[in-house]
Each structure stands twice: as structure tokens, then as C-alpha cells.
Chains A and B, each alone.
Chain A
Amino acid sequence: QSSDFLFKFLVIGNAGTGKSCLLHQFIEKKFKDDSNHTIGVEFGSKIINVGGKYVKLQIWDTAGQERFRSVTRSYYRGAAGALLVYDITSRETYNALTNWLTDARMLASQNIVIILCGNKKDLDADREVTFLEASRFAQENELMFLETSALTGENVEEAFVQCARKILNKIESGELDPERMGSGIQYGDAALRQLRSPRRAQAQSAQECGC
């Protein structure tokens, strides 16, 4: 299947918050209950339809342990979107959000679109972080926000799609330029076919400016 755009996405957040399970649920529509912990990085990709446009997501699912930060940081470059994940039953994972956010804004593209995901929504009885509190944090930091459940699948697809939609909106409004280097956005194979010759020269000059 061909696509109009290709977005690089990150999944970041503390260890054990369910990053890999969110990715697995998004791609396979199943909960993975015997998953390993991620060492380094794992990958997923999926083409989604957002408002009539086909967007291929290239998803980098990173290791969560603090110690791996220096390694995982090198994966941030040129990401267009990110799911920043915490576990609603663990305040510790919530408290770490600021660090993750700083890294993402600094190392990925400046215009990176981030959606905050309060995962394990199904474990409401063990909740340590309220929806209101996280929602405020999201507003203060200009993040989108959803509570998700990789177990039931609730809001999982929505998280990826909403993030992609916002990026598309920014492209349409001109706020994001897919032709700028390091935007984390590429034209997909379908778009490239339509796009030959006239705009090519323009793209070339835009790239040069980007340097």
C-alpha cells in the first residue's frame, strides 16, 4: 500500500510503563502478555488513514531504563511525533516526565508533536496519578493527552492517529515544512509520484537553507 507521508515516531517513557505493549496493541490489535523488556530499540510500522491521507508511521520503541538514556537519545534525531508514556499506577513514572520531555524537545525536531499517554487505564483501582493532574501537566507543556490501555486497546489507536493528525494539520497550515531536513517527515511513495519535477528544485533549495 502506498502512502502520502512517512512520519518518524518515538515511544518514550520509564521502564515498565507499557511502551512495547502499546506498540504491539496498535499494530497487532492484541495485548502481548509475555513480552520481554526492550534492550536498545525495537521497531514497528503501520500505514494509517488520517482524514483521507495515508500516513506511514515508522515507530521507534525505546528502552526505558534511565541508564540507557545516553544510548536512546541518539534515536531521537528527526522524530516528527512521540508518545510520551507514563503508568497511571506509578507516580514515579509520572514524575520522570519532565526529563523525558526536555530530551525530546532538545534532541528530536523542535516542532515535535508529543502526545502524553497515561497507560494502564484498566488498573483504575491502583491509580496514583489523577486524570486532572496529568491533564494540567499536558496543557502547561503543550502536549496532547489521553489515558490509554494497552490491555483493552482503549485509546491506543487514537493516540497514534491524533498525533499524526496534528502533524498533518501543521503541515497544511505551513507550520511544518516536510522538506526541511530533520523534520522527521518524508513524502511517501504516492506523494512522490505526484510531486516530480516542478517542486523538485524548490525542495533542493529548501534543503540547502536547512543546513
Chain B
Amino acid sequence: EYEEKTGRAQRPLSPKQNVRKNLDFEPLSTTALILEDRPANLPAKPAEEAQKHRQQYEEMVVQAKKRELKEAQKRKKQLEERCKLEDSIGNAVLTWNNEILPNWETMCCSRKVRELWWQGIPPSVRGKVWSLAIGNELNITHELYDICLARAKEKWRSLSTGGPEVECEDAGFSAADREASLELIKLDISRTFPSLCIFQQGGPYHDTLHSILGAYTCYRPDVGYVQGMSFIAAVLILNLDTADAFIAFSNLLNKPCQMAFFRVDHGLMLTYFAAFEVFFEENLPKLFAHFKKNNLTPDIYLIDWIFTLYSKSLPLDLACRVWDVFCRDGEEFLFRTALGILKLFEDILTKMDFIHIAQFLTKLPEDLPSEEFFASIAAIQMQSRNKKWAQILAALQKDNREMEKGSPSLKR
């Protein structure tokens, strides 16, 4: 600062003006860099010193200008990238709407479409693509949804008027459990994406989420409401109309992996974990050994990821991109994603002990870099000794069945 307060002696060539004249634009941060003279009541600096100070000052300004330019270029580049991204999304929307969606059956499996799919489906067509990819094997109609919803509403009414507690005790444990699950829906809705503030009491999608989950418990009383479902329904609601969200929800949960988990078929879940571990060891042998050594079993982190399809643990935009490819590739992509996460953080995870790994994986960092994340997933090979996911899983399931047959006492 002291050095800047110099140079009054050379009034004829005021360095301030000199320098400023050469600038084609005013660097923002250099407005604080003003070369001032010594106060008038002090003797002027010797010419040599003033010269030196002027030189230093000019160097500072040049540096600042460089910095400003760099910043400006960076901003420009970011803007260009955003424009490019928006352009490519715009183009992708056109391609999806005009080429792919009208010819879904023939095009959905083509290489070009698969590649475009991997880039992420534009939000405006996402719901449609998900619906088509999930399909409607169960042939659920909008009318069926209305019927299920009406039944659910009836149940809520009889529940709120108090009444049939005795009846429930007669009906035994499962009825009580089912009733408890209706209560639990209410509780969990307010605890689903609380930070978005749209599913909570009074929020715009509170009733929609309530309706879909309630209708599902009437549609599939054998499954009922299981925690984790509210996240899946919520993500669908964000991308589809209510009845279509219900159709996608029911069909999605009907897939083998989801059925195994939402029925909490522990044996089958363990089989999925075992299959996962085959690919874990194949892809990340060092980390796999580290996890084994620390007793870090896959159930500790996979349960949350699989039950909510990553919507609770990943930032929502990334979760939606995982859903995109999950809709394309099926259940194996869920496990591939898990391995992608482990690969992305392999270095730090290898240095952690049990509790830190467990804490880290059950609460992933909020600022996951999306491109690195998907590159990491892409690097995961879902082939183990020439066997694919489905083959490994089927072989493990077969082993299990044979073991159960062989020793019925082991059966739980």
C-alpha cells in the first residue's frame, strides 16, 4: 500500500494516467490499485525510488489485468459450455420427440439411441421414455388406479373415524401390520425429500404421493407399503402424471430385483449381494479385500441404494440419470452404479476404517462430479469370467435352492 502512495514528483507523466490509457478495459480488481503520491506535507521521493515504485505498480496492474482476462475467459468458456449443453439438450429433445418416440419399438435398442440414452434423457421427455422402457406388463389402466385409490380412501376414512380396532385384533397380525403401514405412509411422506418442500403437508405433491402409495397398498396388499417406496413414487411424480406415475411405479416394483427387496426376502437379497460381490472382486480387487478385512458387508450400503434407487443418496439430477440407464439396462445397472461409486472413491475408501467407510457410503458427498461419476460407472465391467450379471445371479440362486433342498434344517 505504501508503495502505491508514491510518485507525486513526476507530475508531467502521471503514471496513473499513463497506465490507464494503455488499458483497453478497466480491470475490476485494479480499481483498488491506485498509484498515489506522497502527501504534500512530506518531501518528495527521490526520482530513482519513484521510478522503482512506478515500475512495481505497473507490474502489479499487468498481473491484475492478466488475472481479470483469465477470469473473463473462464466465464466466457463456461457460458459457451452451458449454451452448448443447452443446444445439445435442445437437439436431443428434438431427436427423442421426432425420431425415437414415434418409432419406439424399432429404435429403442439401436446403438445410436443407446448412446444418446447414456448421455441422459432430457427432462421434458424423461417421463415418457421411462414409461415406455418400464412398460406395463401388469396392464394397469387409469380406471384401475381410480378403483384402488377409492379403496384406499375408504380405508383412511374408516381409520380416522376410529371404529374397528377390535375387528383388527381378530383379523390378526397382518391386518394390524397393514394398518400400521397406512399410518407409516403418512409419517414417511413428510420425510421424503424434505428439502424440496413439495411433498410435505400443504405442499403441492403431498396428496399425490399419498394417493399413489395408498393405492398401491390396495393394489398389492401382499406387498403393502415398505420404506423406500415413497422416494421411488416421488421421483416418478416429478416426471409423470399421477395415474401414469402409478402405472410405472407398480410395474417397476414388479421387477424381480425390486420384488425381492420390497418383500424383504432376506435370502434372495443375500443372493443379490453375493452376485454383487463377484463383480466387486473382479473390478476392484484391492478395495474388495479392504472391505472384507474390515467386515464391511454390502448390505450396509446397498440396502439404501437399491431400495430408493439412489434417489435418497445421490443428488436428484444424478439419480435421474442413473434411473435413465436403469430403465435401459435393468437391475444390473443398479449394481454397476454401486461399483462406479466405489471406484470413484476407491483411493480414499482404501485409507478408511470400518466406521468411516460406513459413514461415508451411507452419506455420500453432495457435490459428486457428474461426468467423472458416469465415467467411473462406464469403466465397470459387468462380465466375470465371460459370465454376465444374469448368469452369475442365476447360478447363485440355483446353488441356494439346492442347498435348501439338501438340508431343510438350514431353511429359515
Contacts and interface: CB of A to CB of B under 8 A. Distances in A.
Contact of B226 (A16, A34, A44, A67): A67
A40 B194 CA distance: 19
Nearest to A59: B355
Interface in B177-211: 177, 180, 184, 187-188, 191-195
10 contacts: A15-B184, A34-B194, A36-B312, A37-B188, A37-B230, A43-B355, A43-B358, A68-B226, A68-B227, A92-B180
Interface of B: 177, 180, 184, 187-188, 191-195, 224, 226-228, 230, 264, 266, 269, 299-300, 303-304, 307-308, 312, 354-355, 358-359, 362-363
A33 to B, nearest CB: 8
A179 B227 CA distance: 38
In the complex, the 10 A-B pairs of residues with the closest C-beta atoms, listed nearest first:
A40-B303, A34-B194, A70-B266, A39-B304, A43-B358, A16-B187, A43-B359, A37-B191, A65-B227, A45-B355
A138 interface: no
Given A70-B266, A71-B303, A74-B299, A39 B227 contact: yes
Given A15-B227, A36-B191, A67-B227, 4 more contacts: A15-B187, A37-B227, A70-B264, A71-B266
For A40, A41, A45, the residue with the greatest tally of chain B CB atoms inside 10 Å of its CB is: A40
B228 to A, nearest CB: 5
B308 A39 contact: yes
Nearest to B191: A37
B147 to A, nearest CB: 25
A194 interface: no
Contacts of B300: 40-41
A37 B194 CA distance: 10
B195 A68 contact: no
Contacts of B226: 65, 67-68
A115 interface: no
Interface in A12-36: 15-16, 34-36
A35 B193 CA distance: 9
Nearest to B363: A42
B191 A68 contact: no
A116 to B, nearest CB: 21
Given A34-B195, A40-B300, A41-B303, A68 B264 contact: yes
A34 B196 CA distance: 10
Contact of B269 (A37, A44, A65, A71): A71
A149 B356 CA distance: 27
A150 to B, nearest CB: 14
A34 B308 CA distance: 18
Contact of B312 (A16, A39, A41, A74): A39
Nearest to B300: A41
B266 A39 contact: no
Given A36-B192, A43-B355, A43-B362, A71 B264 contact: yes
Contacts of B180: 66, 92
B227 A35 contact: no
A58 interface: yes
A63 B227 contact: yes
B283 to A, nearest CB: 23
B304 A40 contact: yes
Interface string A58-86: 10000101111011001000000000000
B96 to A, nearest CB: 32
A145 to B, nearest CB: 25
Contacts of B227: 15, 37, 39, 63, 65, 67-68
